[in-house]
Chain A
């Protein structure tokens, strides 16, 4: 039996898949100790821990440690002259009109930053050897005195030659064996010292947190007689054995959204859909991701609390539009939605917890696209009168009915979501019309159809138990690890040999690391060259298969780069401008083999019946039914409201719904 437990900010989601079928549980999270929420879900599910073969876990523990600055005392070591790298940052501000702007607050202060004499140049040559005497006589006593639990090391140009970082770690470990030492060249071997220093600092900072958390989790599992495999989700869309995460904690940051995308990708692939736009609408935000050929796009540009983290992560774009987004009227008399949110507390007015501002969830309640009796499987009381009361002033202002005002708010929320999708697809050079939309999360399935219409997307695929898809994503993910290497070189007649040399050395290292984790055997390799025109400031990723690597030469790589560039920027395919390699990335994957089968949980039932709802500026008669009631192959036309224990799916007029043999609900727009 396989179990996925995903601890989010508000809810802990649980999915069990085994011979007895699928079991889904949602319990409130315990923010102070995520593992308590996880074990609560286990207990509620009634699953015997001894029978779990595969337990995959995702939690916000690393993320929260950074957001709340609750990590352990951490120091940074830099090349002499550079201790202020974290304070100086990049000088720019992310909100240009904000006169009260503050820089992101680094997790290590100036007082905890140390310098050491050494210098490597940009070509890797050593200008000044590492001053070992200084390390032993000054640095190590200072580290000891400071009572640090973790140390991040970022020496200048270590991305090209990491020898000094390695030597420094060996020296520190020899004197202070209990100190966690993290090297920038091992976490992200890419140029730009601020981003690398930030990455290694955050990495070092969360290391002891994750280490302790996993140790505690494993102890509890052992007590309960667990003997299966315990793994933890990463932000790159793959998981790792829990032991390995203890050494690379930074990859566990923001793993929850990545798990959702993987769940969507895997479940949609079953029905043959490879090109997806995933749409996860939660209480305060919406996450959008582009999946091409079954694989989520990855990015290296990612920040947490404004601090850059340069590791490959699933490229998820988040916008402040969710169920709690507040509806308001601006000075120009225009109706607006968000970015302010009522959050989980007090939450929407209909929660009855003192929320007095109209929100998107209230709008659904008024439109009757959320039925109060069905909210969270009927486990949470909802107050429709409160929703109507907060929307009344807006309705009066625009001379509309309350239903029309609520419907307008939904239309605008959808416009915000459409915008997010258009921007992310433009940035990636993709046309949304070539994709199907895969909605999940509490509210994704409620908004999907209108969003799809505006994007020109004609097909929507809704996975079973869409409200807990992230938990499924945990057990549906492969084991994955990435490495990167900056190696700037011109694309000349040696290009083929250079690519092969880099590939072989990175491959050897990756395979060795994987074997060390007992993940050897059949592995898949993804190899990406980040390239650009000489002088260009941004790189374009060029993906090479193992076949490509074998036969690559100057002509082939130039052609591949030209095509990749053209796709994003509309020029470059026939350019004869000089090209260069900047860096390389290699991903190693141990595939899961057989995917666990996600199905609809059948315990939830509502009687099929007629309902009235409001959508797109008018009232409609529609059909209400529980999702598991729709037989395979049965086709129904909207308006439909389909409920399952984790979410509500709205199928508007003009769309048809049919459940396919994989239990995905496929919505098609009628011509």
Chain B
């Protein structure tokens, strides 16, 4: 039998690949199931990875693409400060600072070495979006932050446990800096449990195949994924493709739209994304450190090639990025970054829409690509505090042979909404309406997906004001159509005060609500595809019957 990679038997290699993916998935299952915050369970905003000692991804399980490759800079930073030979079995490391390998402060990386035969052979790491890490507002996603110091507790890479012994001083420090210390510690322990499972399973694997053989196979698997990625990219027509889209504003300078520009150059088995032309870093928190653009690029490439390619460091080798320093996508300290998700979504959309020119039958028209973030915080009438957050999607873009999807998550995120009954159970808020937003899908031969309407009312069971954080997108720039299709409807939100006054929200706001106040949100629709006049008669009739279009 001729092994194709230095004599390693390809069948065993495939079995080991399968096992590594299983381990990452087992870690992820443990993470989801044992975490406390809804944002992990309902938002699936967490991921688990295995790394080589050189910091190359070995396997990753992520339910949300925004986590793709997200731990790479964190692990690099850990290895820089704590080289493997300094590690002991049972060590646990933490990091969240975006300017030292993190993403944004709520995402805390928990990392530990995997020991086999008395030496470290790999690293197990997990990343969780925590419900609160302190800072100027509950939930740690202040729309009005202007520097990172307002966004919460910053952790450079620190060793939280040495050989299984926790640093209690650090634990106390963590507890003191967040609003809900039990929840925070609970989720951190879920991350540790997940990493431990990874360490146990990887040690088993090394025992079965031998430590050195396992390490050799890790290297071979990474090379294979690189080959596969390059082969898949070779199927995209070579050339440079460009796209420009906009973010509404940064939450501070409300009249200033933010430009995002992507030039995607497909070469021979490689792809380069140049974001030159993107606007400078902004005062508000939508700046995005480089790991975000990497996640966007990985998502775009997987989506247009083959998602079955093993998800390891080999995939990243065929992808390169140019991110101008001091721009929105490579900001300098102390620019705030908490709301970077909106930026990553728009970058992903731009990358996909650029590639749509090369792959017109594969990539649909632009989606609403918005994930409205709502956070409410306050106290029940008996004084108990509550914090609840919800993420709301718009419509997706139509394709060359199909309508867009109504109220659906797209591109780099994949969150569930919060059920009305769950929110009413958690907070003194009533949902009065939750409906598809008629006429919001961009017209076309194929119609864009509809956005939705949701209405909240603050009940009189509250004590004092309820803080509202509203982080919208697509309020000013619609999702455009493709191939002659029309744009989707823009988003719209307003507060209806108890006395009937209406206050339109300019995409982003942090304000207070009182009992009897209502919040109405309408999310954006996706772009249409092809001329509307060519829409089939039966599709028009069905839209009419289902009330998706009011005047067909």
Q: Are A and B co-members of a single complex?
A: yes
On A, residues with C-beta under 8 Å from B are 81-85, 87-93, 95-103, 109-111, 121-122, 127, 156-157, 159, 191-195, 330-336, 398-400, 404, 408, 411-412, 415-416, 419, 422-423, 426-427, 488, 533, 535-538, 568-571, 577
Cβ-defined partner of A404 (8 Å) among B1, B304, B452: B1
Q: Is the CB of A537 within 8 A of B10?
A: no
In the complex, what residues of B have CB within 8 A of residue A333's CB? 4, 10, 224, 227
Q: Is the CB of A156 within 8 A of B421?
A: yes
B431 vs chain A, min Cβ distance (A): 8
In the complex, what residues of B have CB within 8 A of residue A89's CB? 407
In the complex, what residues of B have CB within 8 A of residue A411's CB? 11, 15
Q: Is the CB of B196 within 8 A of A99?
A: no
B513 vs chain A, min Cβ distance (A): 18
Q: Is the CB of B419 within 8 A of A399?
A: no
List residues of B (448-470) whose CB comes within 8 Å of A's CBs.
452, 455, 459
B297 close to A (CB within 8 Å): no
| A11–B38 alpha-carbon span in the complex (Å) | 44
B192 vs chain A, min Cβ distance (A): 8
| A333–B10 alpha-carbon span in the complex (Å) | 8
Q: Is the CB of A91 within 8 A of B392?
A: yes
| Sample (25) of A-B pairs whose CB atoms are under 8 Å apart | A82-B435, A85-B434, A87-B407, A88-B435, A90-B419, A91-B407, A92-B409, A99-B352, A99-B364, A99-B399, A101-B408, A109-B546, A110-B547, A193-B421, A331-B306, A334-B14, A335-B11, A335-B14, A408-B11, A533-B36, A535-B180, A536-B41, A538-B32, A568-B33, A569-B34
Cβ-defined partner of B416 (8 Å) among A81, A92, A335, A571: A92
**Majority secondary structure, A binding face:** loop
Cβ-defined partner of A191 (8 Å) among B225, B232, B421: B421
Instruction: Choose, from B17-25, B96-104, B248-256, B525-533, the stretch at the interface.
Output: B17-25
Q: Is the CB of A330 within 8 A of B183?
A: no
Q: Is the CB of B306 within 8 A of A426?
A: no
Cβ-defined partner of A99 (8 Å) among B44, B190, B308, B362: B362
Instruction: Choose, from B160-168, B325-333, B422-430, the stretch at the interface.
Output: B422-430
B170 close to A (CB within 8 Å): no
Q: Among A192, A412, A535, A577, which residue has the most Cβ atoms of chain B within 10 A?
A: A535
Q: Is the CB of A99 within 8 A of B434?
A: no
List residues of B (378-409) whose CB comes within 8 Å of A's CBs.
391-393, 396, 399, 402, 405-409
In the complex, what residues of B have CB within 8 A of residue A399's CB? 1-2
Cβ-defined partner of B415 (8 Å) among A81, A84, A91, A336: A91
A535-B29 contact in complex given A91-B416, A92-B414, A334-B14, C-beta closer than 8 Å: no
B51 close to A (CB within 8 Å): no
Q: Is the CB of B10 within 8 A of A423?
A: no
In the complex, what residues of B have CB within 8 A of residue A127's CB? 430
B193 vs chain A, min Cβ distance (A): 4
- A sample of 5 more A-B contacts (CB under 8 A), given A84-B452, A96-B63, A333-B4, is A93-B409, A422-B26, A426-B30, A537-B35, A569-B30
| A426–B415 alpha-carbon span in the complex (Å) | 24
List residues of B (49-105) whose CB comes within 8 Å of A's CBs.
63-65
Q: Is the CB of B421 within 8 A of A192?
A: yes
Q: Is the CB of A101 within 8 A of B41?
A: no
Q: Is the CB of B406 within 8 A of A427?
A: no
B144 close to A (CB within 8 Å): no
A427-B29 contact in complex given A415-B18, A569-B190, C-beta closer than 8 Å: yes
B115 vs chain A, min Cβ distance (A): 18
In the complex, what residues of A have CB within 8 A of residue B13's CB? 334
A7 vs chain B, min Cβ distance (A): 34
In the complex, what residues of A have CB within 8 A of residue B33's CB? 427, 538, 568-569
A412-B304 contact in complex given A81-B432, A191-B425, A569-B193, C-beta closer than 8 Å: no
Least CB separation from A536: chain B residue: B36
Q: How large is the interface on B (under 10, 10 to 19, 20 to 34, 35 or more residues)?
A: 35 or more
A121-B424 contact in complex given A84-B435, A408-B11, C-beta closer than 8 Å: yes
B494 close to A (CB within 8 Å): no
In the complex, what residues of B have CB within 8 A of residue A98's CB? 303, 307
| A87–B403 alpha-carbon span in the complex (Å) | 15
A543 vs chain B, min Cβ distance (A): 18
B112 close to A (CB within 8 Å): no
A47 vs chain B, min Cβ distance (A): 46
Q: Among B1, B35, B417, B434, which residue has the most Cβ atoms of chain A within 10 A?
A: B434
B231 close to A (CB within 8 Å): yes
B545 close to A (CB within 8 Å): yes
B175 close to A (CB within 8 Å): no
In the complex, what residues of B have CB within 8 A of residue A331's CB? 227-228, 231-232, 306, 309
Q: Is the CB of A570 within 8 A of B196?
A: yes
Q: Is the CB of B419 within 8 A of A192?
A: yes
| A335–B224 alpha-carbon span in the complex (Å) | 12
A92-B44 contact in complex given A535-B36, A535-B186, C-beta closer than 8 Å: yes
B503 close to A (CB within 8 Å): no
Q: Among B34, B35, B299, B407, which residue has the most Cβ atoms of chain A within 10 A?
A: B34
| 10 nearest CB pairs, A to B | A537-B41, A569-B34, A81-B433, A97-B307, A332-B224, A122-B424, A332-B228, A331-B231, A90-B416, A110-B546
| A415–B231 alpha-carbon span in the complex (Å) | 26
In the complex, what residues of B have CB within 8 A of residue A536's CB? 35-36, 41, 186
| A286–B42 alpha-carbon span in the complex (Å) | 28
Cβ-defined partner of A577 (8 Å) among B34, B182, B434: B182
B197 close to A (CB within 8 Å): yes
Least CB separation from A421: chain B residue: B22
A10 vs chain B, min Cβ distance (A): 28
Q: Is the CB of A416 within 8 A of B35?
A: no
List residues of B (142-185) whose CB comes within 8 Å of A's CBs.
180, 182-183
| A92–B310 alpha-carbon span in the complex (Å) | 23
Cβ-defined partner of A422 (8 Å) among B10, B22, B41: B22
B94 vs chain A, min Cβ distance (A): 17
Cβ-defined partner of B547 (8 Å) among A111, A400, A415: A111
A34 vs chain B, min Cβ distance (A): 32
| A193–B421 alpha-carbon span in the complex (Å) | 6
In the complex, what residues of B have CB within 8 A of residue A535's CB? 36-37, 180, 182-183, 186
In the complex, what residues of A have CB within 8 A of residue B21's CB? 419
Q: Among B33, B37, B38, B363, which residue has the most Cβ atoms of chain A within 10 A?
A: B33
Least CB separation from B42: chain A residue: A537
Q: Is the CB of A423 within 8 A of B15?
A: no
In the complex, what residues of A have CB within 8 A of residue B65's CB? 96-97
| A67–B442 alpha-carbon span in the complex (Å) | 31
Q: Is the CB of B224 within 8 A of A334?
A: yes
A91-B434 contact in complex given A419-B18, A536-B186, C-beta closer than 8 Å: no
Cβ-defined partner of B193 (8 Å) among A84, A100, A193, A571: A571
B123 close to A (CB within 8 Å): no
In the complex, what residues of A have CB within 8 A of residue B183's CB? 535
| A336–B18 alpha-carbon span in the complex (Å) | 10
B135 vs chain A, min Cβ distance (A): 19
A82-B414 contact in complex given A335-B11, A408-B11, C-beta closer than 8 Å: no
B168 vs chain A, min Cβ distance (A): 17
| A157–B399 alpha-carbon span in the complex (Å) | 38
Q: Is the CB of A91 within 8 A of B408?
A: yes
A462 vs chain B, min Cβ distance (A): 25
B355 vs chain A, min Cβ distance (A): 10
B302 close to A (CB within 8 Å): yes
In the complex, what residues of A have CB within 8 A of residue B11's CB? 335, 408, 411-412
| A192–B431 alpha-carbon span in the complex (Å) | 13
| A427–B26 alpha-carbon span in the complex (Å) | 8
| A109–B19 alpha-carbon span in the complex (Å) | 42
Q: Is the CB of A157 within 8 A of B407?
A: no
Q: Is the CB of B26 within 8 A of A423?
A: yes
Q: Is the CB of A415 within 8 A of B29?
A: no
In the complex, what residues of A have CB within 8 A of residue B391's CB? 91
Cβ-defined partner of A194 (8 Å) among B364, B419, B425: B419
A571-B546 contact in complex given A88-B436, A121-B424, A537-B42, C-beta closer than 8 Å: no
| A331–B407 alpha-carbon span in the complex (Å) | 35
A78 vs chain B, min Cβ distance (A): 10
